Chain A
Amino acid sequence: MNRHSRSRKALGIAVASALAVTVTGCGNREDAGRSGDAAEGAPSPGITDDSVTLGITTPLSGATAGPGTCTVAGVTAYFGMKNAEGGIEFGDGQTRTVEIEALDDTYDPQQAAANYDQLKDEVFAMTAGLGTPTNRAWRDAAIADEVPQVLIMTGDPLFSDTEESPWQLGFVPIYQNEGEAFGELLASSSGNHRVAILSQNDDFGAGYVEGFKSAIEGADNIEIVDELTYEATDTSVDAQITELANSDADVFFNAMSVTPLVISSLQKAQQLGWTPNWFLPSNTSSPTAILEPGGAAAFPGIYSVSFSKAPQSPAFAQDEDVQTYLAALPQYGNYPDPPAFPHCQWSWMVGATLEQVFMEMEEPTRDSFMEALRGIEGFEAPLMLPDTSVSTTEDGQPAVSTVVVQKYNGRGYDTVESFE
C-alpha cells in the first residue's frame, strides 16, 4: 500500500515537472530548419543546378496497387528517357536531370500524409499520386507549406479550384467532364433512347450523373427510365442489374469504379438477356482487364471516354509516340509488362507536361514553377488523342478537361463522332 501511494505521488510530481519544463521550453525558439522559412528568391528544396527531385505518394500495394504502380512507372519512364538524353533545359538556362522519389501509401490517407511529411523537404514538387482521400489528406498541409501538389490523378474538382487550392492542380478530367461528354454524344443522336443509370453512391458516381444530366437537359429524344445506386463496398450489384433490365432501357449509363463489379455486371446483364449500349467511366473500361473477362462483345456497343491513345490498339501500333512509350516503360519505368491501366499513359503525359513547365520556369523556385504551370495552353502531350490537349489556364478545370467518346471494337477503342 505504501509503495502504491508513493508511486502515485511520484507520477503527480512527474506531470507537474513536465508542465514546468514545457512552459520554460516555450520561451526559446530554435530554428530546426522548418519548411517555409526560405528567403525570397532562394532556390526551393529539391532542386540544384544539375538535378531536380519530384515526390510521389501513391498506392503501390493493396487493392489499388495496379493503377498506383502505373502512376509511378509512366513519369519515371518519361524522365528516365530524358535523363538518358542528357536532361532537360530549364527556363533559367540550367540543364537538369529529373529524379523521382516514390513512396507507397496503400491508399491509406494517414500513410499518405506521413509520406508527404517525409518527402516535403527533399523534393521540389509532389506529383502524379493516385487517389482522392490520399491526396486530400495532405492538401491543407501542402498549402500551408507552399509545396506544389500538381498533376495528380484524382477527378475531385476541389484540386482544380485555384481559389481553394492555390498549390494544387488535378491532371485527369473531373468526373463531370466524362459524364458530360457521353451525354452530349447521346443527345446529338437522331433516335430516341431510354436510359437506365446505375451509379456509385458517392462523389464519384454523383459527379458522372451530374455531368450526364446537364448534357441531356432539354434533349427530347432522351428519357431516363430508371436510376439506382450501389455502395462502393458492395460485393454484388445483381439485384440492381436485374431491376434495371426490367426497365428495358436501350442505353445503360454505369458510373462504377470497382473493377470486379463492372465485370460481374457485364456478365449478369448477359445472363438476363439484356444487351443495352453501355457506358463506362475511363478508369473501369480497360479492354484486357475488364471487357474481355466480362464478355463485352455480346453488347452492341460499349462506350467510354478517353484522352489517351490505347497502346494495345492495332490502330496505334505504328504510332511513333506509342512505340517510344512502349520501349521506355520497361527500360526506364521498371514496368516490364504491357500497361494494364490507362494510368501508365496518363503518368507519361504528366512527365511531358512537367517538362513543358520546367522549360518555362525562370527561377528554381516553387513559386516560379507554379506560375509556369498555370500558363500552359493547348499542349498536345505525347499519347494524347486528336481533339484533346493539356490546358491549365481555365480556373475550375483540371489540366486535361477535354475527352472524346470512344467505342469498343473487340480489342481496343475507336473514337466515334456520333451515336448509332
Chain B
Amino acid sequence: MASSPKTSSPKTSASKTSASTTSAPTSSATTSSASSFRQRPWVRWGAPLLLVAGLAVLPLVMTEGANDTLARIGVFAVAVLGLNVVMGYTGQVSLGQIFFLGLGAYVTAYGVQSGWNIVLVFVLTCLIPAVAGLVVALAAARLGGLAIAMVTIALPIVGVPLAKRLSDFTGGSQGLSARFVEAPEGSGLYDDQWQLYLVLVIGGIVFLMTSLLVRGKYGRAFAIVKGNENVASSMGISPYRYKVLAFTIASLIGGVSGFLYMVVVQYTSPETMSFGHSIELLVAMVIGGAGSIVGSLLGGAFYVIVPDVTNAIDPSLTALLQGALLLAVLFVLPGGLVSLPRALMRRLRRSPAGRGSAAPPTTPSSTPGSGTAAEQSETERQGHA
C-alpha cells in the first residue's frame, strides 16, 4: 500500500536483475525450473483442481469447531477482499468497509425475518450496499485524496446510531437474529458443514471474479489510477470513474460478506459495524498483504484466528497480545504475510551464496520492500499478458 508503482518499478527491475545476475547459478536454475514447473499444463490444470477437491472434502472430515472457524475466516476474507479492491488495487483509503458488511447483514436479517425468498435476499444483499457505495463514492471520489478517507470514516460512525434508531428495520440495539441456514433435508450434512459449503461456494465465486477483474483491463486501469492520476487521464482513463467503480465493487463485496456473516454468525446488531472493526479489517488487509488475492485470504485468517489464539494464551491480555503480534508481523514482514514465502526463499538463497553472516542486517529492510514490489510486478505482468 505504501509503495506505489512509481517508486517500486525501478526497485522491481533492480531486484530482478540482482536476483538473476548476482546470485549463484543454482538459484537462477531453481527459479527457471520452478517457473517451468508451474507452466506445465498438468500443473496448471491439476493444482486448482486439487485445491478445489480438497476444499470440497474438507468440511466433511473436519471437526465442527474447525468448520466454524474456517467459515468465519471465509466471511472476513471476503470483506478484506472488498477492501483490497478499493485500497490495495486502486489506492483509495477506505475506512468504512465494515459499514457495508453491516448493511449486508441487516438486509439479509430483515429479508429473512420478513420471509422473502432467499435468492431475492441475496440479490438485495448485493444491490443495496452496492447502491449505497455508489452514492457515497459519487460524492467522495470527486473530492479525491484523503477526503475519501474522511467520508468513509463517517460511514460506520453514522451507521451505528442509525441502526439503533431505525429499530423497525434493525431491531434497535437488541439486534436481529436470523437462523435460516439449515442443511437441506436428505443431504445428510450437519449445519456447520452446510454453512461452510455455502461460504466456500459464494466466497469462492467472489474471489474468482475479483481475481479475474483485477488481472484484466479494469485491474490495469485501477493500477494506473493508483500510480498516477495524471497519467491515467492522459491515457483516456478517467480516475474519477474508476475510483467510483472500485468503491462500488468494494461495497458490493462488502454486502456479500454481510450475507455470509449472517450465514455463519446468524445475528447482527449495531456492534457489528462499530468503527473499531473497520480498523481491524484494515489491519487485516495490511497484515495479509495489500493488493493481493491470497493476501485477502490471509488477512481474513488473521482477523479470525488472532483473537482465538490470544484468548487461548491469556483471556485478560488479549488486546495487549494482539498489539504486540501486529507490531511483530509488520516489523518482520512489512509486505504482509503474503510476502513470507518470498522472504524465506530469499533468505535460503542468500545463505549458501556465502553472504549468510552479512545478510541479517540487510534482510529485514530489503526483503519485505522488494516483496511488495515483486508482488506488484506480478500483477502488472499478468495484466499486460
Contact = CB atoms under 8 A, between A and B. Distances in A.
13 contacts: A10-B48, A10-B49, A14-B48, A15-B208, A18-B52, A28-B60, A30-B61, A33-B64, A35-B64, A60-B316, A117-B65, A140-B179, A140-B267
Interface stretch (A108-116, A281-289, A293-301, A357-365): A108-116
B269 A137 contact: yes
B53 A136 contact: no
Contacts of B36: none
Interface string B250-291: 000000000001000111111110101100000000000000
Given A14-B51, A26-B189, A34-B190, A113 B267 contact: yes
B131 to A, nearest CB: 25
B15 interface: no
Given A104-B315, A136-B269, A233-B160, A114 B72 contact: yes
Interface stretch (B120-128, B169-177, B358-366): B169-177
A61 B69 CA distance: 21
Q: Specify the main secondary structure of chain B where it touches its partner.
A: helix
A85 B149 CA distance: 59
Contact of A18 (B53, B61, B63, B64): B53
Given A32-B62, A114-B304, A132 B173 contact: yes
Contacts of B161: 231-233
Query: Size class of B's contact patch?
Result: 35 or more
Contacts of A232: 161, 164, 173
Contacts of A139: 177, 267
B26 interface: no
A99 to B, nearest CB: 14
Contacts of A13: 45, 49
* 7 shortest interchain CB distances as A-B pairs: A21-B56, A61-B319, A133-B269, A29-B188, A202-B173, A18-B52, A137-B267
A101 to B, nearest CB: 9
Contacts of B277: 108
Contacts of B65: 117-118, 121
Interface residues of A, number: 64
- For A3, A117, A141, the residue with the greatest tally of chain B CB atoms inside 10 Å of its CB is A117
A114 B57 CA distance: 23
A26 B56 contact: no
A25 B57 contact: yes
B51 A136 contact: no
Interface string B58-88: 0011111100110010000000000000000
B311 interface: yes
